[in-house]
């Protein structure tokens, strides 16, 4: 995560660094990302990068969380939520991501970066049905970001499955 030095930057400089991170992580997987390109695009010294972030992974996590906040994504679910509500949240997230500058970041996240990061969400305490819904919603998002033109197909398939699960 970012350091307090980064958090206390002037808004213009903070945005410049954030935009450089967005450019890098939208075009390169985390394991191919380079501090050199980020500092060049942000017009900062290499040493400044390390004053702002301990490493590339922390910079990536900051950017990903920032992007989620910018498009108001809230995927905290509760077992009592119905299928329609969950689908509405997913559909809204996909639409907002598509109309934002973060679409390529999310696409790269689901295609390459997510597997490189240690999961921050534990599924151990979920019931079997909750686990299935969590896993399927995640896979559905992965498919949609990989094949956006067919998003309605993936959402409809997800709708059918979770509706059946909720009926059990």
Considering the domain architecture, whether residues 94 and 160 belong to the same structural domain is answered as: yes
Considering the domain architecture, whether residues 42 and 116 belong to the same structural domain is answered as: no
Considering the domain architecture, whether residues 90 and 57 belong to the same structural domain is answered as: no
- DSSP letter at 102? T
Is 76 inside any structural domain? no
Please give the mean pLDDT across all residues of the chain.
91
Range of the domain at 140: 83-167
The stretch 120-132 carries a mean pLDDT of 83
CB of 96 closer than 8 Å to CB of 72: yes
Q: Which helix (H) or strand (E) holds 89?
A: helix 83-98
Considering the domain architecture, whether residues 40 and 88 belong to the same structural domain is answered as: no
Q: Which helix (H) or strand (E) holds 103?
A: helix 103-108
Question: Rounded to an integer, what distance in angstroms lies between the CA atom of residue 155 and that of residue 161?
Answer: 10
pLDDT value of position 6: 98
Which residue, 38, 70, 102, sits at the end of a domain?
70
Among 20-24, 107-111, 124-128, which stretch is predicted with the lowest mean pLDDT? 124-128
How many domains in the chain? 2
Among candidate residues 147, 87, 77, 75, the one with its CA nearest the CA of residue 111: 147
Considering the domain architecture, whether residues 94 and 55 belong to the same structural domain is answered as: no
Considering the domain architecture, whether residues 142 and 87 belong to the same structural domain is answered as: yes
pLDDT value of position 86: 82
Considering the domain architecture, whether residues 87 and 163 belong to the same structural domain is answered as: yes
Among 63-77, 94-108, 153-167, which stretch is predicted with the lowest mean pLDDT? 63-77
pLDDT value of position 167: 76
CB of 128 closer than 8 Å to CB of 142: no
pLDDT value of position 111: 95
């Amino acid at each position: 995560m970012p350091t307090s030095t980064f958090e206390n930057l002037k808004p213009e400089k903070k945005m410049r660094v954030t935009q450089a991170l967005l450019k890098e992580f939208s075009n390169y997987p985390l394991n191919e990302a380079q501090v050199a390109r980020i500092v060049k695009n942000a017009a900062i010294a290499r040493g400044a990068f390390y004053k702002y972030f301990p490493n590339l992974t922390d910079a990536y996590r900051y950017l990903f969380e920032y992007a989620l906040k910018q498009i108001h994504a809230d995927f905290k679910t509760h077992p009592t939520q119905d299928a329609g509500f969950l689908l509405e949240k997913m559909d809204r997230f996909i639409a907002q991501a598509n109309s934002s500058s973060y679409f390529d970041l999310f696409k790269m996240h689901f295609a390459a970066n997510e597997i490189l990061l240690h999961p921050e969400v534990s599924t151990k305490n979920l019931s079997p049905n909750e686990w299935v819904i969590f896993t399927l919603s995640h896979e559905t998002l992965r498919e949609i970001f990989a094949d956006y033109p067919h998003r309605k197909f993936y959402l409809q398939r997800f709708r059918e499955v979770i509706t059946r699960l909720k009926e059990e």
